[in-house]
A and B are shown apart, each in its own frame.
Chain A
Amino acid sequence: MKFLARRLAFYALTAWAAITMNFFVPRLLPGDPVTALIGRMQGRIDSNAEHSLRVLFGLDENTSMWEQYVQYWGLLLKGDLGLSFTHFPTPVAQIVTQSLPWTVGLVGVATIIAFVVGTLIGTAIGWRRGTWADSLLPVSTFFSAVPYFWLGLITITVFAVNLRWFPSNGSYDRGLLPGLTWEFVSSVGYYGFLPALTVVLSSVAGWILGMRNMMVTVSSEDYVTVAHAKGLPSRQVVLGYAARNAVLPQVSSFALSLGFVVGGTLIMEMVFSYQGIGYTLYQAVSTHDYPLMQGCFLVITLSVLVANMVADFVYVALDPRTRQES
């Protein structure tokens, strides 16, 4: 399991790097969130509170950077991400934990659907070259070049504003009480359909293209020719030999591009006012709520790392060569 051990060490390193970056970004950039906050509150915070705010946000000028860093880690390990400016004094951790499940549900499910569908289509196009299927390529190129949020705007215009098939924003019918009732769950599905469709439409092209190219490359491998020479049924050759191997780099590139894909799909939440972490980040940015911003970034990054780890486990399950004891 040397491969997994190496990967785990890498994720620990990445998590440390992300957290450290998160610590330094507000401290090294010009500008001062506390002064900004006090300015915005226009006298509603008295000046004595300013110092305690600074300590709270870890921006105390009387402690050294190193002490702050240690303090920051201590708070973080207790799950304390500070207090939100806009929802003062709600802890950031609380806001973030409320919105994270929505994102995991929407972005996670849609990304996996896009990956699976794209990989299947890519398999077909890569295998049957020189047919009509090749004409799908330019179409998918167009979709991969469209910014995610713009595609969101278009689907809202068409399906929500003009056709009125789906709601244009929100994540469930506000008249319902959240709970495990059929009514609520179906409402979530109904509200989530349009944003999910947009995520799938805009990210599927990349997977199609990647799988197509891998299929083309793998098809000329000897073991595929051997499979044909063995007289195996086409289905078995395509799925068991060609696609089964082509999917390996596809999975590792899935892991690598998760950060990119997730970043893009979070914007979709902003467009659809979907109450996930992306929308929270958007609100934090527009209200200059720095602790919330930082908290969102941290949670997004850690989630992507977890997803990456899952992808690595899948890879290990798929490729026996990584399981070699050495």
Chain B
Amino acid sequence: MSASITTTAERGAVREGGRPSSGGEPVLEIRDLSVDYGYGDDPTHVLRKVSLTLNRGEVLGLAGESGCGKSTLAYAATRLLAPPGLITSGEVWLTGRDGTRADLLRLSDRELRSTRWQDIAIVFQGAMSSLNPVYRIGRQIVDGILAHRPGLSRSAAAERAAELLELVGIPADRLRSYPHQLSGGMRQRVMIAMALALEPQVLIMDEPTTALDVVMQRQILEQVMELRDRLGFSVVLITHDVSLLVEVADRIAIMYAGEIVEQADAGDVYRRPRHPYAHGLLGSFPPLHGPRRELSGIPGSPPDLSRLPQGCPFAPRCPHATDVCREARPVLGTTRSAEHGRLVSCHLHDPELRDVLPAELAR
């Protein structure tokens, strides 16, 4: 199943040789982003002070159970969250191609509109519902191009659209098709082609393959990764399928109840999870390589965001929870051994609170 996808290590090698621009330079930086649902007196806090950085050229995976806020994070960062969503704090810094930085949350409507698609493009969850059912797909690709390149002629834009379709492996005569005439996989490819129309710096993919069958999922992701190597954009890949992320992502951030609980290099998260939730999440998928192990899963169900417990949101389901976990909320910080590039939000990693780390989290 993974034979056709290059492993992280191999890809890293390819990139170092192939493309020069891949330093640790951040392209998208989310700081302390908080989001409420509901405009009333009693809103649900669906994101609480989330910070996350996407570096140029990297694939950042965002994982978690459904309802943990991973999609909300993507929508809020681009200000596409529908009412009654409300951003209550934070900054989203985007570094332009020329090195200028801008906070998306402070841009005027016009500036934001011109940044969208040009710098950040999004592929949405529902391939079925992302395309306007009454327009031909050619027109839908073209109108995105023309909105940002007003000087371009319609025919030139249509040519570009044909190129894009062929880029994702769809014959150009499909430009004349309506969305309902395409299969689910094709529609998702059209969405990807559309997203790449203006060669954005950042491509956010929100569960891009959930509705598709497994073979199609792999094919499409593989294609995106290939295109990324050629075109050099950065990817935020949102999914609940951690095994998929382990294969394609450089770094993984794991979310729980509207917060990031752990982030680290993909391999580290996979082999040495530091947060009990990350450990549980990984335990609920079969391993890709190596010896078989028991699938464990996580007891309990995702929390109700409108009534979170006082302490750590994961405490009620955590096998290692203690009194302090139920009383105080942990913050994202370094791990116990201060590993490079790892952050975790768990009291277990505070030497003042716990003497030893459970063995499974200390590998």
Contacts and interface: CB of A to CB of B under 8 A. Distances in A.
B121 interface: yes
Given A222-B125, A222-B130, A245-B133, A230 B80 contact: no
Given A231-B117, A240-B143, A321-B180, A226 B124 contact: yes
A301 B355 CA distance: 86
Centre residue among A226, A227, A319, A320 by max chain B CB count within 10 A: A226
A221 B179 CA distance: 15
Interface residues of B, number: 33
Given A223-B131, A223-B133, A228 B80 contact: yes
A223 B144 contact: no
A97 interface: no
Contacts of A226: 122, 124, 130-132, 191
A230 B129 contact: no
A236 B139 CA distance: 13
Given A232-B147, A236-B147, A324-B181, A223 B132 contact: yes
B180 A324 contact: yes
B113 interface: yes
B82 interface: yes
A60 B328 CA distance: 94
Contacts of B116: 228-231
A222 B121 CA distance: 14
Contacts of A219: 82
A225 interface: yes
A226 B148 CA distance: 15
B345 interface: no
Given A229-B117, A230-B147, A245 B78 contact: no
Interface string B127-140: 00111111100000
Interface in A267-326: 318-321, 324
B180 A230 contact: no
A36 B333 CA distance: 96
Nearest to B143: A232
Nearest to B109: A234
B193 to A, nearest CB: 13
A222 B113 contact: no
B132 A225 contact: no
Nearest to A248: B134
Given A220-B82, A244-B132, A320 B178 contact: yes
Chain A interface SS verdict (over half): helix
A220 B84 CA distance: 11
Interface in A196-230: 219-223, 225-230
A149 interface: no
B66 to A, nearest CB: 17
A148 interface: no
A321 B147 contact: no
Contacts of B201: none
Centre residue among B80, B113, B132, B143 by max chain A CB count within 10 A: B132
A244 B80 contact: no
A172 interface: no
Contact of A231 (B82, B125, B135, B147): B147
A220 B129 CA distance: 11
B90 interface: no
A225 B82 contact: yes
B126 to A, nearest CB: 5
A66 B132 CA distance: 54
B133 A320 contact: yes
A145 B160 CA distance: 53
Contacts of A233: 113, 147
Contacts of A241: 132
Interface in B160-189: 178, 180-181
A316 B75 CA distance: 35
Given A223-B133, A230-B117, A231-B118, 15 more contacts: A222-B125, A225-B124, A226-B130, A226-B132, A226-B191, A231-B115, A231-B144, A231-B147, A236-B143, A244-B132, A248-B134, A318-B134, A320-B134, A321-B133, A324-B180
Interface of A: 129, 219-223, 225-233, 236, 240-241, 244-245, 248, 318-321, 324
11 contacts: A222-B124, A223-B131, A225-B75, A231-B116, A231-B144, A232-B143, A232-B144, A245-B134, A321-B133, A321-B178, A321-B180
